[in-house]
Structure 1
Amino acid sequence: MTRLIRNIAGGLVAGATLALGAAAQAQETVKLTILGIGDIYEFSDKDGVGGVARLNAVARAERAANPNTLYVFDGDMLSPSLLSGFDKGQNMIDLTNIVPFDIAVPGNHEFDFGMDNFVEKMKASKYPWAAINITKADGSPLEGLGGVMWKEMAGLRIALIPVAQDTSPEVSDTGDLVFLPTVETAIEAAKAARGEGADLVIGVVQTPMPNDRALIASHAFDVIMSGDDHSYATAYDGVTAYVETGMDGRFIAPLDLYVTIGERRGERHVSWKPNFRFIDSANVEPDPETQALVDAFKAKLDESLNVEIGVTEVTLDSRRNVVRAEEAAIGNLIADAMRAATGADVAITNGGGIRGDRTYEPGTVLTRRDILTELPFGNVTVMTEITGAQILDALENGFSRVEEGAGRFPQVSGLTVVWDPSAEPGSRVVEVKVNGAPLDLNKVYRVATNDYMLAGGDGYAALGGGRVVIDKGNGNLMANDVIDYIAKMGKVTQTVEGRIRRVGE
């Protein structure tokens, strides 16, 4: 009897072992690599770091090492850059066409030269553009812009969820396009894709980190590749792997997913583990084909831009954290040039339009290249007549999102402003004077600004409520006004002089 029980037990163990072995044999583990990139503003490297030639070299190497590689772009390359001021971003299309993306999501800067230019650049691309939350005004799709992309790769059914930034109409020239809410639209699409049998759901998004956190917390995605914040970051909460893809290809983070495909309770089951890798582009040899085109672009620029226009006698600081948070000498220079060019009472320009992100020490000889690097958007100096009340509303907007580093922070001429950062947005301006006199809310003033802000960009709707004296069609390029101003003066002497002060300063 004991022997019989042992035989039965032995048979059961053997059967179980065979079953486990069959299950083990039925499982398959594959490696999927996701390479994300975004916020590429400079086609060339800077001091041996970044640039499209190094980026393309990495993309080629990743695809060669693993055929199961997805190469995705999460927004912002057509602008702003020095060369884009001339070709409206065509240089980036030419360079990225050499090693095409699997999918590209438009960032807000894809619309800096208008919707028609973006459509033209989509047609010139050798890769597909997509965004599920962009439609025409009537709700119909924008020609050439796709939606959710399905990929069959390594035995996996993969859904790519492309989502643009819903604040794009505030910060760029999107025409009459409609941008649906980024977070809600993305989560809904991700859940729908899962319901349609996606093994992996990958978000390719251009949106700031607070939205990224909401997307991660939804647990609707396996992977999120995100741009917009200009920072490098990776995270994994046990459900969703996240990569913030950085800026200009300086630091590159390929994500490897080791995916196990098998069965659980008779149904297909997919699980995965992430492996984050870090590539410092300083250690990457540029792709020769791309570098040849980069060199050609650089030669074209050098010929016309290395023209000296004047010397700065003061330190000019155009770093992002400065021009978006406080009075800056370079902001004073630009605003003074705009006011001089138009004869306006005051000038207001947005700190986010100043893009050089560098300092110029006293004695630096400034060139046309420097100014066009600082002002790469091709904006035009315009002038409007508005009341003091509208100026106050415009300034309140300018100080409303300083904590976020928003580009709407005002750089001014002809004005002195005291503001309170502890007050609620919309009630932060404490005092305004125009050329030494208190702001008269009922008086009409001539205000020089740029065409982007006049059209309501960066939330400056208050500037558009008056009589336009110089419109976009009749104004000069801001950069040219600044170049001419410096050339006429021969030197730059503007300093931080108290035009913008916080309460108590």
Structure 2
Amino acid sequence: MNAKRYVGKGILALLALLMLVPATFAADGKLTLLSLNDIHGRIYSEKDAGGLAKAATVVEKLRATDPGNVFFVQVGDIDEGPLFFYFHGKAEMTGLNAMKADVGTLGNHEFDLGKEAFFEATGYAEFPIVVSNLRFKDGTPAPFPEYVIKTAANGMKVAFFGLVTPALAYTTKGSDDFRAGQDLPAEAERMVNILSSKEKPDVIVLLSHCGIEADRLIAKNTAGIHAIVGGHSHTLMEEGEFVEGPNGWVTLIGQAGSYARHLGVMELALKDGAVSKDSSWRVEALDANVPENESVASLLEPFRKELAERLSTPLANQPKDMDSRKDFIRSSETNLGNFIADAFRWKSGAQVAVMNGGGIRGDQLYPAGTVSYATITNMMPFGNTLCMGKISGKELLQLMETSGSALIGEKDEYDANMRTPTGGFLQVSGIRVVFDTKKQPLLIDNNAITRKEGERVVKLEVLQEDGSWAPVDPAKEYTIATTDWTSGGGDKYTVLKNNGSFISLEQFILESTAEYIRFLGEMKAEVDGRITILR
């Protein structure tokens, strides 16, 4: 009798478990997913490494190993930089179309140049672009399919859906007309339920431009996703992560770095409808050992030539290396950040100028030599314009607390959903500031609501007309120059957005910086102690 009750309870428990896990997955089989993420306009090989022509060689080779069972996907942030600025995505999409991409999703940088350029760029794609958490401001869905179904040669039915970062509105200038769903596990679960009931696929793949931490969160909280192919955080994963979710469901996660330097390769093996231990993830380095696909290279060459002609005009001498390395410009004072902020202050005549570190690109030491339009277009590729306004000393303190929130302290539990994005760290001119990262950071959520005031600014001084420095006066008014992105509330700078005094100076920051270079006769700046960080 006890045994019967035990068996009966066991059967009921098993039935309950099966009800919680999508019941549409039964097929055994193998698939290969090839991926590129975060290309950021780097479609050409640099120093015989990276680029779409090399990626095309590997994609073609791997497709031939198992025809019809290999899918090539792109995971957002295709666009950025001079190519995007001048060709609005046509160059990047020409390469991906030639590679016969099967499906893609959106990244935040596709929105950099505004709505018109965004739709122009995505319109060049000859493959479906899926995203399920993107809506217009009024709540209506964006005009992209939430998912697409592909059938492999082995008969397996594969569903692809996409998610874009919830921080879209605060990380990208041109996304004002759109809103991204904030609750990623809920968005993912909604899609699994739709796919399971409507399409009954054998495999569900999430293309996630949300970052590795978000991908882990989704996998831990959602049953039914077999694979997450990721992007946004530029994480180079030599091996995949098998993440256990509800009821023992296992999801395999992989991400292939950035800048088309590596191709992601996920070998997905299913047993009884679940990811088996035979599944794997690796990256293929697109290095000097990989030849370029001549057909793809020839299609992309006209864009390279035209861009070179547009950008080759020299401006002046650059006597020292200029530092745009991501790990530095988003967390410390750099000479390039100082130069650009100085250019803003010079052009506008403002007392103070600030530039978000995430708006200064290249992720490199720009070598000493001759600086040209090509150089500064790489440095500032987003088409931002210069703005000027008036703020109180109290608002200036709030501004710098917002910047200080982007800094990650030694024992700091940084949560991007409650802090300023790291790209929101400000390079400055006309002020000196001391941050203490051991103190409380400003906590501000993705709806720009302050959850806790910051205490990291321990000293803030403003440059005076006579060259001396004076402590900021909370009651005094100061003039300030910055970009339309920052003054419009980007990177959670609602203190400026709510100010209401900012006007456009109707000049691209690229041109303001070029004018400053010509005025000085060289591009030169030092790290001079404007920003001090106590750790």
TM tier, smaller: 0.7 to 0.9
Residues 328 and 299 (structure 1), Cα distance of their counterparts in 2 relative to 1, 3 Å cut: same
Of the three residues 404, 407, 411, the one matched with 1:402 is 407
Distance 1:155 1:433 in 2: 67
- Residue 364 of structure 1 deviates from its aligned partner by 2.3
Establish whether residue 223 from structure 1 lines up as the match of residue 222 from structure 2: no
Which deviations, in whole Å up to 9, do the C-alpha atoms of 1:103-158 show, x marking residues without a partner? 21111111111123222222221111111111223332222x01122223222222
- Residue 469 of structure 1 deviates from its aligned partner by 5.3
Distance 1:85 1:176 in 2: 20
Distance 1:309 1:351 in 2: 23
Residues 479 and 259 (structure 1), Cα distance of their counterparts in 2 relative to 1, 3 Å cut: same
Of the three residues 269, 278, 288, the one matched with 1:258 is 269
Distance 2:27 2:313 in 1: 62
Instruction: Give the aligned partner of residue 15 of structure 1.
Output: none
Instruction: Give the aligned partner of residue 491 of structure 2.
Output: 458
Distance 2:478 2:334 in 1: 24
Residues 271 and 393 (structure 1), Cα distance of their counterparts in 2 relative to 1, 3 Å cut: closer
- Residue 451 of structure 1 deviates from its aligned partner by 0.9
Distance 1:103 1:243 in 2: 17
Distance 1:62 1:70 in 2: 10
Instruction: Give the aligned partner of residue 520 of structure 2.
Output: 489
Establish whether residue 381 from structure 1 lines up as the match of residue 401 from structure 2: no
Point out 4+ residue stretches in structure 1 off by more than 6 angstroms: none
SS at match of 2:150: strand
Instruction: Give the aligned partner of residue 356 of structure 2.
Output: 350
Of the three residues 372, 387, 390, the one matched with 2:395 is 390
Distance 2:274 2:226 in 1: 11
SS at match of 1:97: helix
Residues 303 and 271 (structure 1), Cα distance of their counterparts in 2 relative to 1, 3 Å cut: closer
Q: Between the two proteins, what is the percent identity of the paired residues?
A: 28
SS at match of 2:230: strand
SS at match of 2:177: coil
Check conservation: 2:27, 2:202, Cα contact below 8 A.
Answer: no
Give the letter aligned to residue 193 of structure 1.
Answer: L
Instruction: Give the aligned partner of residue 33 of structure 1.
Output: 32
Distance 2:475 2:490 in 1: 24
Distance 1:57 1:248 in 2: 16
SS at match of 2:30: strand
CA RMSD of aligned residues (A): 2.1
Instruction: Give the aligned partner of residue 206 of structure 1.
Output: 209
Q: Give TM-score scaled by structure 2 length.
A: 0.82
Of the three residues 176, 187, 196, the one matched with 2:189 is 187
Instruction: Give the aligned partner of residue 449 of structure 1.
Output: 482
- Residue 225 of structure 1 deviates from its aligned partner by 0.2
Give the letter aligned to residue 46 of structure 1.
Answer: E
Establish whether residue 417 from structure 1 lines up as the match of residue 416 from structure 2: no
Which deviations, in whole Å up to 9, do the C-alpha atoms of 1:193-217 show, x marking residues without a partner? 3455332221111112221111222
- The 5 Å alignment of 1:13-412 reads 30-41=29-40, 42-66=42-66, 67-79=68-80, 81-143=81-143, 145-153=144-152, 154-172=154-172, 173-181=174-182, 182-194=184-196, 197-218=200-221, 220=223, 221-233=225-237, 234-237=240-243, 239-260=250-271, 272=276, 273-282=278-287, 283-361=289-367, 363-403=368-408, 406-412=422-428
Distance 1:169 1:311 in 2: 37
Instruction: Give the aligned partner of residue 23 of structure 1.
Output: none
Residues 382 and 275 (structure 1), Cα distance of their counterparts in 2 relative to 1, 3 Å cut: same
Which deviations, in whole Å up to 9, do the C-alpha atoms of 1:13-67 show, x marking residues without a partner? xxxxxxxxxxxxxx98643111121101212111111112122222233333321
Distance 1:175 1:469 in 2: 17
Residues 259 and 311 (structure 1), Cα distance of their counterparts in 2 relative to 1, 3 Å cut: same
Residues 200 and 138 (structure 1), Cα distance of their counterparts in 2 relative to 1, 3 Å cut: same
Check conservation: 1:161, 1:190, Cα contact below 8 A.
Answer: no
- Residue 376 of structure 1 deviates from its aligned partner by 0.9
Q: Give TM-score scaled by structure 1 length.
A: 0.87
Which deviations, in whole Å up to 9, do the C-alpha atoms of 1:221-273 show, x marking residues without a partner? 21110001112112224722111121122111211223456xxxxxxx56643
Give the letter aligned to residue 496 of structure 1.
Answer: V
Check conservation: 2:205, 2:226, Cα contact below 8 A.
Answer: yes
Distance 1:339 1:270 in 2: 59
- Residue 368 of structure 1 deviates from its aligned partner by 1.8
What count of residue pairs does the alignment treat as equivalent? 466
Instruction: Give the aligned partner of residue 265 of structure 1.
Output: none
Distance 1:271 1:441 in 2: 59
Distance 2:283 2:490 in 1: 36
Distance 1:190 1:364 in 2: 54
Check conservation: 1:199, 1:270, Cα contact below 8 A.
Answer: no
Check conservation: 2:252, 2:275, Cα contact below 8 A.
Answer: no
Give the letter aligned to residue 148 of structure 2.
Answer: M
